[in-house]
Amino acid sequence: MDILIYGTINSMALALMALGFALVYGISRIPNFAHGALYVISGFVTWGFVRALGVNYLLSVFLTMIIIGVVGALIYRFILIRVRGMAISEIIASYAIGLAILEGLRWGGFKGMTYTLPVFVEGSVDIAEIPVDFHRLVVVGIGVAVVAFLWLFTHHTRIGLALRGMAQDERAALMLGIDSDLMAVVAMALGSMLAGLAAILLLPLGNIVVEAGYNVLILAIAVCIVGGLGSWMGAVLAAFLIGFAQILTVTYLGSHYQMVVALLAIIFTLILRPSGLFGQQKELEERV
């Protein structure tokens, strides 16, 4: 039973980490290797508002989301736009940005145990005799809400539909008057906001450390590769697959194997089904 409960929570956390990455890749085909750095910055920005400036927690969450969205948009507008379409350069550029941010933070002295965020709701509740704290339930709730919001956004709004059009065929979208650079900026801003949201939700469960940036990046990439790069629903399902696999390893093998699971998942997916669980795009193309 505890496997079920903690598996679900862990899976939702993974999904939150990965959605931003999946969204940006799905729309602009840019693998945003600065994703982990954006995640960590959001943690420190929120910390700055809450602990250093003493702003109300909800307000600082709101402000952080806006700031990180703008940061993401600026990264695209001034740096990534120049290397768009060249896969290797995209990876190098975005990874360099991520490294610069993370190591810059480390150099600036943001390390140690002093950086923590408050949880949303204190206390815990027993579900089937297993104690679960309220904050983890909030994580699951907001995770579900985010997935639902993304689905509605991409199926029923003008911008969301345009984003999907661009994800499928950029040139056809151009012909219909959809500006691809504008859409990529929007995608990058949304993806960064999702990274920020994940950070705000997940960081209160531990300390804010710079290393989290690298772990989040690897987990996000693992989830996206297993789910099929560019497929958001695939990413959510893959998050559950890896999430439960991780909890099972923790229970039966030991917690230090947790990261190995994600990396093994990448290797096995690439061997068995390189397009991922939901890489249907190729199949469709062959049929037409």
Partner 1 sequence: MLEATGLMVFYENMLALNNVSISCENNQIVGVFGANSAGKSTLMYTLSGIMEDIKKKEDMAGRERITVLGAIKYLGKDIMGLKPSQRARQGIILCPERRRIFPESTVLENLRIGGYLASPPQKKESLEYVFRIFPALEKIKKRVGGFLSGGEQQMLAIGRALMAQPRLLLLDEPLLGLSPLIQVLLVRSVKEIRDERGVSIIVTEQYARPVLPIVDYAFILENGANTGGAIGQP
Site for partner 1 in 65-104 (CB under 8 A): 82-86
- Residue 177 CB, nearest approach to partner 1 (Å): 3
Cβ proximity to partner 1: between 121 and 172 the closer is 172
Residue 160 tokens, joined: 């969301």
DSSP codes, 182-234? HHHHHHHHHHHHHHHHHHHHHGGGSB--THHHHHHHHHHHHHHHHH-TT-HHH
Could you tell me which stretch among 70-78, 155-163, 188-196, 216-224 binds partner 1 (CB under 8 A)? 155-163
- Residue 282 CB, nearest approach to partner 1 (Å): 11
- Residue 258 CB, nearest approach to partner 1 (Å): 34
- 58 is a site residue for partner 1 (CB under 8 A): no
- Residue 145 CB, nearest approach to partner 1 (Å): 23
- Residue 74 CB, nearest approach to partner 1 (Å): 20
Measured CA to CA in angstroms, residue 23 lies from 68, 172, 224, 261, 278 at distances of 16, 20, 10, 23, 14
Residue 150 tokens, joined: 């993304």
Contact residue for partner 1 among 164, 207, 214, 218 (CB under 8 A): 164
- Residue 153 CB, nearest approach to partner 1 (Å): 13
- Tokens 């987990």 locate to 219
Contact residue for partner 1 among 54, 109, 112, 177 (CB under 8 A): 177
In this structure, are strands 130-133 and 124-127 parallel, antiparallel, or unpaired?
A: antiparallel
CA distance 103 to 211: 10
Crossing angle for the helix pair 35-47 and 180-202, to the nearest 10 degrees: 50
Cβ proximity to partner 1: between 56 and 89 the closer is 89
CA distance 195 to 202: 10
- Residue 225 CB, nearest approach to partner 1 (Å): 19
Cβ proximity to partner 1: between 154 and 246 the closer is 154
- 174 is a site residue for partner 1 (CB under 8 A): yes
Cβ proximity to partner 1: between 233 and 264 the closer is 233
CA distance 189 to 203: 21
Taking residue 105's Cβ as centre, other Cβ atoms within 10 Å add up to 20
- 1 is a site residue for partner 1 (CB under 8 A): no
Burial of 106 (0-12, 13-18, 19+ CB in 10 A): middle
Cβ proximity to partner 1: between 78 and 252 the closer is 78
Residues near partner 1 (CB under 8 A)? 82-86, 155, 158, 161-162, 164-165, 168-169, 171-180, 182, 280-281, 284-285, 287-288
